[in-house]
Every structure is written in structure tokens, then in C-alpha cells.
Amino acid sequence: DAGVIQSPRHEVTEMGQEVTLRCKPISGHDYLFWYRQTMMRGLELLIYFNNNVPIDDSGMPEDRFSAKMPNASFSTLKIQPSEPRDSAVYFCASSLHRNEQFFGPGTRLTVL
């Protein structure tokens, strides 16, 4: 298995632009998680899905952030409009039946 795939690996954008991060979970996994990692706040869970349904989005910072999972093999995290404080590494992870989570390589986002 190729593991969790994220794209792009790096994204540099200007403040106010829309940013879309993509994730392909491991085939057969029924949970998908989006995390954000910064030096100041560490690893934060933003949202997670079970069987494509959002279960807990309490970690989403504000309305500028939205996430979707249209099918079992694809999820997006969108930031619109982006701000410099959104600069971070965003990780996607997937798991089977709430067992260990497998992380993708992350997307490093820089908002200028």
C-alpha cells in the first residue's frame, strides 16, 4: 500500500488566496483525520470523519476553514481566505476502526 498520500507537499500563497489541501487515505480505512502542526501550538486535531461523515469539527479554527470527504478515497481541507497565521504543516491521517493512525507526509503551507 502506498500509505496516506497528501498533495501538494509544499504550498506558498499570498494572503487572501484560497488554498486547497488534498488527502487520499489508505484503502479500506474508515477514519480520516486532519491535523495542523505549528511550533507554538504543537499538533492540533482539526476535524475527523468516519465513513465519510464529519464527526467532530470542534478543532476547526474558524469559518475560513472547511473540510469535505466526498468519497472513501478522497478528502480536502480548504482555507478561504488564507492568512499568514495559517502557515503550518497540515497532516492527514487515516485509521481502521479507531486503531493506530497512519500519517501522510504533510503539506507545508506558507501564507505570505
Residue 98 has which C-alpha cell?
479507531
Exactly one of 64, 66, 74, 102 binds other proteins (CB under 8 A); which one?
102
Window contacting other proteins (CB under 8 A); options: 12-20, 60-68, 71-79, 92-100:
92-100
Exactly one of 21, 34, 65, 91 binds other proteins (CB under 8 A); which one?
91
The 3-state DSSP composition of the chain as helix, strand, coil percent (nearest 5) reads: 5, 55, 40
| Least distance between other proteins and beta carbon 16 (Å) | 27
What's the CA gap between 42 and 111, in Å, rounded?
18
Exactly one of 50, 66, 87, 110 binds other proteins (CB under 8 A); which one?
50
Identify the three-state secondary structure at position 31.
Answer: strand
Residue 111 has which C-alpha cell?
501564507
Exactly one of 38, 43, 61, 84 binds other proteins (CB under 8 A); which one?
43
